[in-house]
Amino acid sequence: MTPLVGQGQIRFVLSWSNGPKDLDIHSIFKISDNETCEVYFGKRDCLGTELNTDTTRFGSNGVQTLTINTLGKYNYTIAVNKYIHKNSFNSSDDKPIKSLYQENSTPSGRNVPVQNLPLSKSNAQISVYIDGYREAIYKLKIQNILNKNDNGDKINVDSFNWWWAFCLDGNKGLNNIKAINRLTSESPGNQNCENV
């Protein structure tokens, strides 16, 4: 998962050092009036955008990479979802029925507990890499998100399972990336970046 990228590529590297067990990076972009591409764990490529790796887990750490190989003339939404396994909830009251800790294998082969923390407490970070730079051109950290709405009222961000991280206007090239850094309860679709 080298951060070095090829000419014209842009790579988003999602990493986190606390639970939750499973975070997924998504790229959502509208390719026509009636068709949208979404690249994530369930669909690993679409029109030059691909998820390069599955989640790599080392204890409570995770990493995923998303690479746009060929930047199209689309508005890309880059978001992260705290994946909740359907079998881990009881449909009658929608509360977790598994234990607070889940097992993950470390490189040494031993299992360690991973606390299933809210997305807001994951210490997640997205680093952005482009051709010609060894270091990330941008790092966005989830802990910098304010827990207040536009009116200044405090909100409970711990219940949100989506992190709307970036918008990228492919019409204007790699230099037109805008940090959004907002937690939401619903997936930020392609229309979100079209309206930014």
Q: Which domain holds residue 29?
A: 10-194
Predicted confidence (pLDDT) at residue 88 exceeds the cutoff of 60: no
Sign of the dihedral through C-alpha 129, 194, 24, 183:
positive
What's the domain count of the chain?
A: 1
- Give a yes or no: residue 3 inside a domain: no
Q: Are the C-beta atoms of residues 122 and 21 closer than 8 Å to each other?
A: no
29 contacts 125 by C-beta, under 8 angstroms: no
> What is the layout of strands, in order, in the sheet containing 35-39?
35-39, 23-32, 75-82, 162-169, 177-184
Q: pLDDT class for 79, splitting at 50, 70, 90? A: very high
What pLDDT does residue 103 have? Answer: 44
In this prediction, residue 56 carries a pLDDT of 57
Is the residue at 31 inside a domain?
yes
Q: State pTM to two decimals.
A: 0.80
In the predicted model, is pLDDT for residue 27 greater than 80? Answer: yes
Provide the token pair at 86.
């359907």
Residue 72 within a domain: yes
190 or 17, which is more confident? 17
- Mean per-residue pLDDT for 105-124? 68
> In this structure, what token pair is assigned to residue 186?
């619903």
